Amino acid sequence: MTTHETLTPAAPRQRPEHHGTAAPTDGTRAGRGLHIRGLHKVLGGRTIIDDLNLTVGEGELVSLLGPSGCGKTTTLRMIGGFLQPDSGSIEVQGQEVSHLGAEKRPSAMVFQNYALWPHMTVANNVGFPLKLRKLSKAQITERVETVLELVSLLHHKDSKPARISGGEQQRVALARALVQEPKLLLLDEPLSNLDAKLRVKVRDDIRNIQQDLGITTVIVTHDQEEAMSMSDRIAVMNAGRIEQFSTPADLYARPETEFVATFIGSLNRIEGTLSAGTISAGTDVIGIRPEDVTLSVGAFKGSLPATVERVVPRGHFQEVHLRRADARLRSFVTGETPAPGQQVHAAISKAMTFRNGHLIEESGTAQ
Ligand SMILES: Nc1ncnc2c1ncn2[C@@H]1O[C@H](COP(=O)(O)OP(=O)(O)OP(=O)(O)O)[C@@H](O)[C@H]1O
Ligand SMILES: [Mg+2]
């Protein structure tokens, strides 16, 4: 395969208005993407990955999202061939790869601390994997320049890593993976070393390049906003398992568990039962998104009286913290904002009920 066939951006793929609608959730093209079945790993006597199953469609970007220590890096390293699973199968484009070493797999990984060689120029860093594969100098130069152009760094090809910015270094690490023309791109926390502003920029760069090349990609992150903004689908991980796997919009609107509801977006969590303007004690958990809490000065049927405790400016909206004897609530307010100490009435337009961590009921409470 020549450089041009795979690295020249194909005709732009149709970009769905909301990420995720284009994801092949029916698995029609999944045979050519990534298939993980029954992955299991014990480390230090503890089960770290427990019967993990995941299907990523060809050209799809999937994030593994979860709290620190849930097993994201361990999973990615097994996919990339840097760690041997105890059992389970990993298929890339229809080929079983779990018995292959990392260098034999059709995947390339960008590690969290992207470890560029400081004494080498940008071009030599990027070309290094090709040098190992004994490509000719001319071939290496051609491929390196193609990828450097793709990540908008051709003008820095002769710079040393120390002379370029963090975001540029991250893009060099990405180029070093892309130059290998992988069928599967694996990125471990690719934005964690960047400041907030750069994070948004590099995030968009990665997503655009991924879309233009149509490359199947798995990204590990613990940042829900990052996962929401880049992914076709997100696998929410908790303690070595995938808790829910769906599009960002679906995970937000229809979380199946309390863990997912808490991890994706903001959530008011109240222990008890909500009915007719009162909260009664109980073992169920009510989950309410702050945007589903609206405030008014006067009381009305079904409203919950509360006191404004704090108002936090959040840019284009305010986060109002409310307090009652039996609960705390947060409300996102865009219009007129009440002042701390003021008595208000909260109306809840939508609530989820969880029992033993699982969603049992979703209600829009009538007012
Ligand atoms: N070689 C090892 N020996 C023993 N335990 C390990 C080993 N490697 C990882 N672990 C444990 O496995 C668990 C999962 O680790 P992993 O690095 O996959 O987490 P993670 O989800 O990537 O977390 P983070 O967001 O902090 O990077 C952790 O509890 C970790 O301590
Ligand atoms: Mg990790």
Q: How far is the CA of 297 from the centre of ligand 2 (A)?
A: 47
Of the residues 48, 49, 75, 112, which should be mutated to test ligand 1's pocket, given the most ligand atoms within 8 Å of the CB? 48
- Residue 45: nearest ligand to its CA? 1
d(CA 46, CA 20): 35
The reply to whether ligand 1 has any atom less than 6 angstroms from the CB of 72 is yes
> What's the pLDDT score for residue 14?
44
- Residue 66: nearest ligand to its CA? 1
Q: How far is the CA of 73 from the centre of ligand 2 (A)?
A: 4
- Between strands 318-323 and 304-313, the pairing is antiparallel
CA 316 to each of CA 71, 167, 313, 335, 342: distance values in angstroms, whole numbers, following the listed order: 36, 27, 8, 10, 22
Nearest CA to ligand 1 atom 8: 43
Of the residues 39, 74, 219, which should be mutated to test ligand 1's pocket, given the most ligand atoms within 8 Å of the CB? 74
Q: How far is the CA of 193 from the centre of ligand 1 (A)?
A: 19
> What's the pLDDT score for residue 31?
67
The 3-state secondary structure of 243-304, one letter per residue: EEEECHHHHHHCCCEHHHHHHCCCCEEEEEEEECCEEEEEEEEEEECHHHEEEECCCCCCCE
The reply to whether ligand 1 has any atom less than 6 angstroms from the CB of 222 is yes
Domains of the chain: 3-256 (3.40.50.300), 266-363 (2.40.50.140)
Task: Locate the ligand 1 atom nearest the alpha carbon of residue 44 and give its number.
Answer: 4
> What's the pLDDT score for residue 54?
97
State the pTM of this model: 0.86
The reply to whether ligand 1 has any atom less than 6 angstroms from the CB of 71 is yes
Of the residues 50, 64, 72, 82, which should be mutated to test ligand 1's pocket, given the most ligand atoms within 8 Å of the CB? 72
Q: What is the tens place of the pLDDT at every residue in 75-105?
A: 999 999 999 999 999 999 999 999 999 989 9
Nearest CA to ligand 1 atom 17: 73
Q: At what angle do helices 166-178 and 196-213 cross, to 10 degrees?
A: 20
* Closest residue by Cα to residue 219 from 330, 51, 76: 76
The single-letter DSSP state of residue 13 is P
- Residue 70: nearest ligand to its CA? 1
Q: Which of the residues in the chain have pLDDT under 70?
A: 1-31, 364-367
The tokens for 2 are 């020549």
Task: Locate the ligand 1 atom nearest the alpha carbon of residue 77 and give its number.
Answer: 18
